[in-house]
A and B are shown apart, each in its own frame.
Chain A
Amino acid sequence: MQGARVRLLRSIVSVSRAWGIVVFLGLSSALAPPSLAQDFSGRTDRPSVNSFGLPGLIDMPSADAFPDGELSFTVSHSALGSRGTIAFQVLPSVTATFRYSGIDIPSAAGRDILFDRSFDLHWQILEERGGFPAVAVGIRDLAGTGLYGGEYVVATRHFGEYDQVAVTVGLGWGRLAGRNGFTNPLGIIDDRFETRPPRSFGLGGTVTLDQFFRGDAAFFGGVEWQASDRLRLQLEYSTDVYAREGAGGLPAPDSAINLGATYAFSDLLTGSAYVLGGETFGVSVQMALNPNRPPIPASAGDPAPRPVAVRTPSPTPYETDWVEQPGGGPVLRDNFAQLFEDQGLFLERLTLDARRATIRVRNEQYNHESQALGRVLRAMSAALPPSVEVFEVIFVVEGLDTSRVRIARSDVELLEFDPGGAEVAIAVAEIEDARTTPDPVGLDVEVERPRLTWGIGPYFDASVFDPDNPFLFDVGVEFSAEYRFGNGFVASGVVRAPIVGTLDQAQIVNEMPPPNPPPVVRSDGALYHQESHVYVDRLTFSHYGRPAENLYSRVTVGYLERMFAGVSGELLWQPANSRLGLGVELNHVWRRDYDGLFGVQDYNVTSGHISAYYSLSDSFDLQVDAGRYLAGDWGSTITLERTFDNGWRVGAFATFTDVSFESFGEGSFDKGLTLDIPFAWFTGNSTRASNGGIIRPVQRDGGARLDVEGRLHNLVIDYTRPSFEETEAMIWR
């Protein structure tokens, strides 16, 4: 290298000649699709699941626990009711569930079918160890209407050479003490345990602490036999007499003996059939997903990266006169365009002097942020002249500079194949706010992205667990367009034309209107589907900005969401190295007309929140919002999410405002589950797309928030140090 002038050359593909020869020879054989099907045969260590979607026998619980992080979906059906349960293993010992059931008896609200929503908690206090059984305690219908209300303490122990026999014995209360009950042994502690007070009102949703473990108790139990690798047989003595169902005319079982069989179709899918009390036949299907056990290794489908291009060692300093080379900028721009090709990475701007280069990149593909970082660093190693020793990468989101990741080029060269190189690379990288250090002054290359983007395609909109309907959906055509004016100004809009669907059948009016209800802001959502044809989903003009170091801003004006139009402003403080972020949001909005066109109704409100976002650990994120909600109610929302490094998020939230539980109506307060599942986890092909949403037992008017696009924390959090650390294993992938 010494002696020769360092020139920026258009051809960076130094191997093209050799590569051409291989192609010419026609010797490269296609990579066979790798065999990705894991060996799912053989005995699973997953516990059997009862008809309530929890570890158990048939109707009764056991003391087992699901593997940590497992999300299981169970649907069970018999003449005594249908249940759909989502169970999540929040911690290695704690299972939480949400259940939606439909029972063919009249409801108190006058409906033909009783639809009920319930939450459970199951806590394995002791693991089975050293001959001692596992012990678990659980509460069914923790905060629902109390239809399934029951509590239990249960022990399970395995016997036999291969642990093939599991014996379960438990003590139940409430609904689980329906047969051969006796005086509550907890009465020794306090006489009050001996009576179980009735529910005070039928709204549900509140935690009925005064009922738990009170009233008569009863013993239940059962035996499970692992008959073969895939088949298990169960026999249980049940204390659930289905009294409410029997009173409604359904065939409540006379006998306490239930028999069942469970067959594992695969490690993920099991099916069960059972007979309750010798007369009522039932079936259930369970599917399990575990974020910790992807069906395919992370990024397995991604092409191999271009290796780091290492500089030739030079006894004299690398030449720097390339900085003055005329036309150097366009050469670099073209080279990066070639290096980023087919990678979903887009150069926005490159500024560099002889020693330092700062690249601004849009990452539209890699869901593991460190993988995107690694690919950008490798491209820099290939494109930049050898005198550039400091690499800085700034990922740009919605035109916003996020963090500035600085790493020495020599470290990139050194760590590529080091066994601990992934962890070390992130550890030695300096990560700071993009605004902390000025960009180098010298060459400056900017790439203008296309101003207008648009698309026409199908859309799918679904609502689950509406009080009257377990599943409602719309399918239609969506037209979307976005125009970027530059300097952070964006206009964007979505117009939808539903073709077929049932969303207009959602519940509109509660048959029992609550006393002193808050203004209607969300509960008539179905009217927006009933009274519209082609509608404007969103039409907004926004500005995203960086007013100061660690600060991000957003202003959005227009038709913000399907039900509200107005103006929304937000300011976020989020340092690049911090687990804590703080935000303020202020909105003034009008309710939109039901037809989904441009009119608004009289109701308008100023709402807004102060928010704190805190990453408790690698596994849990906490968000607290306090402020004014859409119905003008004041209060706060707490959201706790279990997070996984691969992008899975499973959480729950609850909102308490000055709307009383009575005035709120069914459910007492706003609450629900949040779910975010990255598509890449299923396919192994990097994509930032994910699917998820909020599952609410019931949508009322208290504690409702505006649903505006582009909230800042979601946009920028992926490029802070904690996120790079979570995905660090992927930097050299």
Chain B
Amino acid sequence: MALRSAIFSLIMICLLAGCGSRADDPLLNTAQSLASGAFSRNAPEAPRVDPRAVLTRDLINRAAVPLILVENDTIGTSSTMTRIATNGPNETWQGDGDITITLSSEGLLRATRGYAFDLYSTDIEAARVALVQRRGGSAPRVHSAVEGDIQTVQTGYSCEIGFGGSEAINIFGRVQTLTRVIERCTLQLGNGAPFENRYWVDGDGFAWASEQYAGPQLGHFRIERLYR
């Protein structure tokens, strides 16, 4: 009897949800993802931990690997990330399995992946040079995204980089005196709003902390270098 009811249950499951050796029945998978998406929209998938509440300098030092903290108030995410790849001056950092951000070796935002409204790439050469050479002035910048019918859309900005005064910045107990740099950008080409990036850099032009704009939907990322 038990066997029969088990077989019956199995058949019912097959009828309703499908089964078989193909894990990839596309119609079914899409239907399931739509359904699960509809139900899980309001329920967070995992208990969320605010890294700020848990992290201590002691923990960071024990990890002893390059580590950044990436926060985004616009979309409400906060995650520590480790470096998973280096491509020339570009370093890619991964938070969990699904998201990465790429920074230049000075800490300037180059790209995001897995954030839905991704910043595909940027041209930030002028800003990099300005930071390293500690020289303010104008610096063009290009942001590239994919919109509409998968078209690459480039937005050009004209930016003014200004070096401000020194500030004592405390990153989880480690206090450094850093120079505040502000990059004010106005739209030059395409559609977009003006924005402002802020960096707190050391003598080598390395940004230990920054607030960087990634587009109208992602807003600003706040990035802190926890361990170099």
Contact = CB atoms under 8 A, between A and B. Distances in A.
Interface of A: 15, 17-19, 21-22, 25-36, 69, 291-294, 296-298, 300-310, 344, 364-365, 368, 413, 416-423, 450, 452-458, 477, 480, 644-646, 679, 682-685, 687-689, 691, 726-730, 732-733
A344 B100 contact: no
Given A26-B54, A416-B90, A689 B117 contact: no
A467 B220 CA distance: 57
B225 to A, nearest CB: 15
Contacts, number: 227
B146 to A, nearest CB: 5
Contacts of A683: 30, 33-34, 37
Contacts of B27: 679, 689, 691
B18 A25 contact: no
Interface in B101-130: 102, 110-111, 113-118, 120-123
Given A25-B54, A30-B47, 8 more contacts: A25-B59, A29-B79, A31-B95, A32-B76, A34-B115, A292-B149, A480-B20, A645-B149
B93 to A, nearest CB: 10
Contacts of A450: 21
Nearest to B40: A33
Interface stretch (B9-17, B177-185, B204-212): B9-17
B75 A417 contact: no
Given A22-B82, A455-B25, A733 B96 contact: no
A35 B80 contact: no
A621 to B, nearest CB: 15
26 contacts: A15-B84, A18-B84, A19-B84, A21-B65, A22-B81, A27-B49, A27-B79, A29-B77, A29-B79, A31-B98, A33-B40, A297-B118, A301-B33, A303-B97, A309-B85, A310-B86, A310-B87, A419-B122, A421-B121, A452-B21, A454-B21, A456-B15, A457-B15, A679-B26, A685-B30, A688-B26
Contacts of A29: 48-51, 77-79
Nearest to A412: B87
B144 interface: yes
A314 to B, nearest CB: 15
Given A364-B24, A453-B22, A456-B19, A28 B95 contact: yes
Contact of A27 (B76, B80, B97): B80
At the interface, is chain B mostly helix, strand, loop or mixed? mixed
B28 interface: yes
A298 B145 CA distance: 11
Q: Which 7 A-B pairs have the closest CB atoms?
A: A457-B18, A455-B20, A689-B26, A304-B113, A304-B114, A307-B85, A300-B116
B44 A307 contact: no
A548 to B, nearest CB: 32
B46 interface: yes
Interface string B136-169: 0000001010111111101000000000000000
Interface residues of B, number: 83
A28 B22 contact: no
A457 B14 contact: yes
A732 B48 CA distance: 29
Given A29-B49, A304-B99, A453 B21 contact: yes
A31 B96 contact: yes
Interface of B: 14-22, 24-30, 33-34, 37, 40-41, 44-51, 54-55, 59, 63, 65-67, 75-88, 90, 92, 94-100, 102, 110-111, 113-118, 120-123, 142, 144, 146-152, 154, 217
Contacts of A297: 116-118, 146-147
A452 B120 CA distance: 40
A15 B82 contact: yes
Interface-central residue, A365, A420, A684, by most chain B CB under 10 Å: A420
Contacts of A291: 149
B22 A687 contact: no
A313 to B, nearest CB: 10
A452 B21 CA distance: 8
A303 B114 contact: yes
A304 B100 contact: yes
Contacts of A418: 121
Contacts of B34: 682-683
Given A34-B117, A368-B150, A679-B30, A419 B142 contact: yes
Contacts of A452: 21
